[in-house]
Amino acid sequence: MSEISYQTLNNVGHIKFPVHNGAMDLQHCRQLFETIQSAKQDDSIKVIVLWGGPDFFCNGIDLNAVHLQYNSSILAYKNLKALNKIVHAVLTADTKLVISALQGSASAGGVMLAVAADLRYARSNVILTPSYANLGLCGSEYWSILLPAMIGYGNTQKLLYEACPVSPAEALHLGLIHQVICGEAPAFAENITAKAEYLASTNIDARLAAKSVLNQRLLAEMDSQVKLELEKMKDCCNHPEFESSRTHFVEKNSCRQSLFLCASPGNNCRINKSDCDE
């Protein structure tokens, strides 16, 4: 599949996955996993940048493909596990620093893939929807370990239960992303590439040593935690709520709009100049 590419330059590995609508089917997941694994083993690089696609970073599993399958529950579950493997590959990249460069929006598992990276930068037009509940799912991709560690227990509750989209400003405030970068796509790409190359060439071993200390607890807990997630997800995949939400999403294709409409007044979707770096 030509949609997923890997290029290296100046000690940095660039992984692009501009899949249609950001929806990762089983094949995409397998290919992205293998690409990340290759990058992890590539001694010529020190930093990996996950670029996603220009319109969407990643929107999790491909619900259209799932819906067309004879037994949607099984494919959904397989697809979730395949996405889990990618997130796991990112989380265990202990000899590389991983950067998420969000040129476009992300939702569900796509958000978790983004936040699994060590550093997360987004364009100012990016909306994150780290909610699964709108699709009748409780979530996987290590959210139960990543989100509480990253944004705190209370914020995780709000994010998961309200299942509302998050503006770049709020994502920055919460700590889901580290920096919002304004400007057009080429400028964003240039900015991220320069950061990545700088990190890769300057005291990278010290940064990786810090990463290994910081991630130690998370890595120790993640196997048992993901088992719990998958157990619940299997039930969700077989639940009528998932089927009706999925049908609504696929047939009306309006789920994304409805997700955006549910933004609560507290969600500040406007980026202030101070939030934004040129």
Q: Which residues pair with 6 in a beta bridge?
A: 15
When the beta carbons of 75 and 174 are compared against another protein, the nearer one is 75
Expressed in percent and rounded to 5, the helix, strand and coil fractions of the chain are: 55, 15, 30
When the beta carbons of 73 and 215 are compared against another protein, the nearer one is 73
CB of 78 to another protein, least distance (A): 6
Stretch binding another protein (CB under 8 A), from 50-58, 110-118, 210-218, 232-240: 232-240
Site map (CB under 8 A) of another protein, residues 44-83, x = contact: -------------------------xxx--xx-xx--x--
How far is residue 59 CA from its own chain's centroid? 8
Burial of 37 by CB count in 10 Å (0-12 exposed, 13-18 middle, 19+ buried)? Answer: middle
When the beta carbons of 55 and 235 are compared against another protein, the nearer one is 235
Number of residues that bind another protein (CB under 8 A): 12
CB of 74 to another protein, least distance (A): 5
d(CA 68, CA 267): 35
Q: What is the DSSP string of 1-29?
A: -TTSEEEEETTEEEEE---GGG-B-HHHH
d(CA 183, CA 199): 22
When the beta carbons of 95 and 238 are compared against another protein, the nearer one is 238
Decide if residue 234 touches another protein (CB under 8 A): yes
Among 230, 250, 262, 276, binds another protein (CB under 8 A): 230
Decide if residue 138 touches another protein (CB under 8 A): no
Look-up: residue for tokens 């983004």? 114
Those residues whose C-beta lies under 8 Å from the C-beta of residue 189, and which sit 6 or more positions away, are 51, 101, 103
Among 37, 238, 267, 268, binds another protein (CB under 8 A): 238
How far is residue 122 CA from its own chain's centroid? 12
Contacting positions for another protein (CB under 8 A): 69-71, 74-75, 77-78, 81, 230, 234, 238, 240
